[in-house]
C-alpha cells in the first residue's frame, strides 16, 4: 500500500542506519521515520492474493526467486517497504540474506488506498524504477484498475482485461480474478 503515511516521527536515524536495522512497519522518507498506516481487510486481502499468485507462479513455472510482503528495500533516496515484491534468483543469490535489499525489487506491487495522493503514488513508482525496479503495479481496488509502469511504458488494465508481467514472463491473470 502506498499507504496513508502518518506524520513523520522525530528521528536522528540516517538512511544507512535504517538499512542496517529497519524498524517494523516504518519507511525512511525525506530524513524521517514514517509509519505505514491505512491497511484494511480489503487491501490486506488483495496484498495477500497478489503475493500468493506470484509465489505460486514462481514455483509452478520454475522461474525461481522469492515473493515478499512489506519487505524493506533502499531506493536511491528513501527506505521503503513495498506491499508485494519479487526478487529474481540472481538477486536472491546476491542479496538474499541482507536485512534490507540495497536497491528496488525488480517487480513491485503497491495496493492504493482511497486516501493516497496521486502525485505521491506515481512519484513512488518513479522512485522504484529509478533504483533498479523493472516493473511497478499500482493496484486500484475501488476502480478495479491496475496500472503497470516500466521505464518505457505505462499500461492501464481494467476489470475485464488480462494483465501480463514483463518481469514474470508468462504470468497472466484477469484483473477481475485478481481483485475479485
* Average pLDDT of the residues in 121-127: 96
DSSP state of 22: P
Q: What is the mean pLDDT of the chain?
A: 90
Q: What is the CATH number of domain 4-179?
A: 3.90.1570.10
Confidence of residue 169 (pLDDT cuts 50, 70, 90): very high
Hey, which residues does 24 pair with through a beta bridge? none
Contact 27, 9 (CB under 8 A): no
Give me the pLDDT at residue 3, please.
43
The answer for residues whose C-beta is within 8 angstroms of residue 43's C-beta and 6 or more apart is 1, 111, 113, 141
Confidence of residue 47 (pLDDT cuts 50, 70, 90): very high
pLDDT in tens, 128-146: 999 999 999 999 998 999 9
Alpha-helical regions (H) of the chain: 15-20, 41-61, 89-95, 118-129, 175-179
Amino acid at each position: 500500500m502506498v499507504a496513508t503515511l502518518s506524520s513523520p516521527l522525530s528521528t536522528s536515524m540516517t538512511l544507512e542506519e535504517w538499512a542496517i536495522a529497519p524498524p517494523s512497519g516504518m519507511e525512511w522518507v525525506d530524513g524521517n521515520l514514517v509509519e505505514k498506516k491505512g491497511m484494511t481487510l480489503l487491501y490486506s486481502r488483495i496484498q495477500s492474493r497478489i503475493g500468493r499468485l506470484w509465489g505460486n507462479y514462481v514455483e509452478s513455472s520454475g522461474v525461481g526467486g522469492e515473493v515478499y510482503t512489506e519487505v524493506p528495500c533502499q531506493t536511491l533516496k528513501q527506505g521503503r517497504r513495498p506491499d508485494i515484491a519479487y526478487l529474481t534468483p540472481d538477486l536472491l543469490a546476491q542479496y538474499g540474506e541482507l536485512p534490507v535489499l540495497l536497491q528496488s525489487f525488480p517487480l513491485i506491487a503497491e495496493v492504493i488506498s482511497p486516501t493516497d495522493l496521486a502525485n505521491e503514488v506515481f512519484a513512488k513508482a518513479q522512485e522504484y524504477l529509478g533504483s533498479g525496479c523493472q516493473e511497478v503495479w499500482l493496484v486500484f481496488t475501488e476502480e478495479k484498475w491496475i496500472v503497470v509502469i516500466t521505464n518505457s511504458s505505462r499500461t492501464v488494465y481494467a476489470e475485464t482485461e488480462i494483465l501480463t508481467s514483463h518481469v514474470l514472463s508468462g504470468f497472466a491473470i484477469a484483473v477481475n480474478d485478481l481483485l475479485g
